Amino acid sequence: MTLLFKAEDQRAPALHEQDRVRRTVPRAVWAGLVALAVLAAGAAAWGAGVFDVRLSADSVVIAQVERAAFAPTISATGQVVSETSLSVTAPEGGNVAALVRRNGEEVEAGDIILELRNPALEREVGNELSRIQRDITALEAQLTELDGRVNEAERAVRARAFDYQQARNELDRNTVLEERGFASPARMTRLRDEAEFHERELAIATRQLAEAREQTGVRRARLNEAIEALTGLRQQTAARLEALNVRAPASGAISGLTLNAGAPVAPGEVLLRLSGGDVDAIDARVFDTVAGRVVEGAAAQLAEAPEARLQVTSIDPEIREGVVHMRLDFDGPAPDGLRAGQSVQVSIAAGPERETVLAPFGELVGPDTAWVLDPGGRIARPAPVRLGDRAGGEVEILAGLEPGQRVLVSGPRPLDGLARVRITGQIER
C-alpha cells in the first residue's frame, strides 16, 4: 500500500501540468478570435464610411491636371530705386580714409567719392592673392613638365629614326655588294637584324610619343581650366580691395554724406545719395540658393504692376547674408504709382519655356502627396507625387499625376494621415 501511494504521488505534478495547459490553450485561442473580430469590425466600419472625412464641394478647390507650356520663375523681394535719388552703399567695411568729394558736388559714374581703409581686409586679401599665385605657379610648372615630357619623346623618335635610317642605308649598300658576290651571308644577316631592331625601336618610340601627346593634351586642358579658375578668383579677390574705393554708380549730385575721416563704416551701410538721374529700376534680392538659375537678360515681372516688363541687367557677384542683389531695368517707361524705396514682389524667369504636366499649387498639392479624385469624382485618395519648379500659381508635376486627372488643391482642413475623402454636394466640372 505504501508503494502504490508513492507512485500516485509521483504522477500528480504531471497531471496538474496537463490540466493547466488545457485551460491555457483555449484562452489563447479566444484572444486570437477576439483580435480577428476587432480587425474585421474595423474593416467593415471603414468600408461603411465610418472613418471617412466628408467635405462639401463648395469648401474645396478642385482642379484638373493638364499638359501645357511652362516657364519656371523665381520669386524675390525688391525695392524700387530711382536714379533721381540713388542710395550708395559700402561694399566693404572699414574706416573712412579720405573724402574725395563733398555734398553738393556733381560726379560722373565711376568717380571715387570716398576711400576706406581696412587693414584686416588688406592682410586677408594679400595672403589670399599670394596663395592663389603660388597655386598658379605650381600649375604652370606642371605644364612646363608636360612640355618637357613631350619634347623628350620627340627627341627619342628623332634619334630612333636616325639610327634606323643609318642601318637601312648600310643594308642597302651591302645588298648591292651581295648581288655582285662581295658580301658574306653572315654580314648580311647581321645588317638585316640591325635594321629590324632599329625599326622596332622607332615604332616603340613613335607609339610612346603619341601616348605622351594624348596624355599631355588631357592634362593640359585640365591644368588650363584650373589656372583660368584661379585667375578669375584672383581678380575677384583683388576686387575686394578695389571696393574700398567707393565709386559713384551713376552720374548725379552728392547728398546726405555725413561721414568724416576716420568714421567707421559697416558693409552695406548707406553712405550717401545721388540725385539728378531719371531712370527707374528695381533692386531685387534673391536667395543665393536659387540665384544661380538667373542669368543676365532674363525677363521679370512685378506683382504690383503686372503690365510692366523688366529685364535683369546686372547681377552682383557678392553674396551678402545669403542674398544676391540683381538690378532689373524696365523695358520701356516705368509704370505709374511706383515710388522710390517701395518694396515690391518680383518674379524672375529661371529657365526656358518648356511643355510639361502642370497643376495649380495649393496646400493639398505636395510636397510629396496629392489628393486625386476617382473617375466618379466623389472619392479622393492620396497619391505620391514629385514636384518640380513653380511659376505663379502653377507647379510642375515630374511624377505621380497624368493630364486629365482631377486633384484637390485646397480645403478647409488638413488631411494628413487620412486614407480617403468623400466629396458631397454639387461638383463643378
Domain range summary for the chain, segments of one domain joined by + = 53-70+353-424, 73-118+249-349, 121-242
| Mean pLDDT on 126-153 | 92
Cis peptide leading into residue 352 (ω within 30°): no
Note the pLDDT of residue 27: 59
pLDDT tens string 96-115: 999 999 887 888 889 999 99
Q: Which of 110, 109, 111, 117 is nearest to 92 (CA)?
A: 117
* CA 99 – CA 249 distance, rounded (Å): 17
Give the rounded percent of residues in the chain with a pLDDT score beyond 70. 85
Phi, psi at 345, each rounded to 5°:
-105, 130
For the beta carbon of residue 22, count every other beta carbon within 10 angstroms.
9
- Residue 34 pLDDT greater than 80, yes or no: no
* pLDDT grade for 254, boundaries at 50, 70 and 90: confident
Grid coordinates in use for 151?
619634347
- Cα 48 to chain centroid distance, Å, stands at 49
**The most confident of 11-20, 45-54, 79-88, 217-226, by mean pLDDT:** 217-226
Note the pLDDT of residue 326: 94
Higher pLDDT: 124 or 81? It is 124
Note the pLDDT of residue 25: 47
Q: Which of 268, 274, 272, 255 is nearest to 86 (CA)?
A: 274
Note the pLDDT of residue 75: 86
Higher pLDDT: 326 or 24? It is 326
* pLDDT grade for 335, boundaries at 50, 70 and 90: confident
- The region of weakest confidence among 20-34, 208-222, 241-255 is 20-34
The arrangement of secondary structure in 121-242, i.e. its CATH architecture, is: Orthogonal Bundle (1.10)
Judge whether 70 and 353 are in contact, CB under 8 Å: yes
| Mean pLDDT on 369-385 | 91
* pLDDT grade for 6, boundaries at 50, 70 and 90: very low
For 53-70+353-424, which CATH class? mainly beta
- Residue 1 pLDDT greater than 70, yes or no: no
Note the pLDDT of residue 22: 52
* CA 73 – CA 392 distance, rounded (Å): 8
Judge whether 393 and 409 are in contact, CB under 8 Å: no
Fold classified for 73-118+249-349: OB fold (Dihydrolipoamide Acetyltransferase, E2P) (2.40.50)
Note the pLDDT of residue 312: 94
Number of H helices, E strands in the chain: 4, 24
pTM of the model: 0.38
- Give all strands (DSSP E) within 276-320, no chain letters: 280-287, 299-302, 310-315
- The region of weakest confidence among 76-85, 132-141, 235-244 is 76-85
Residue 403 in 3-state DSSP? coil
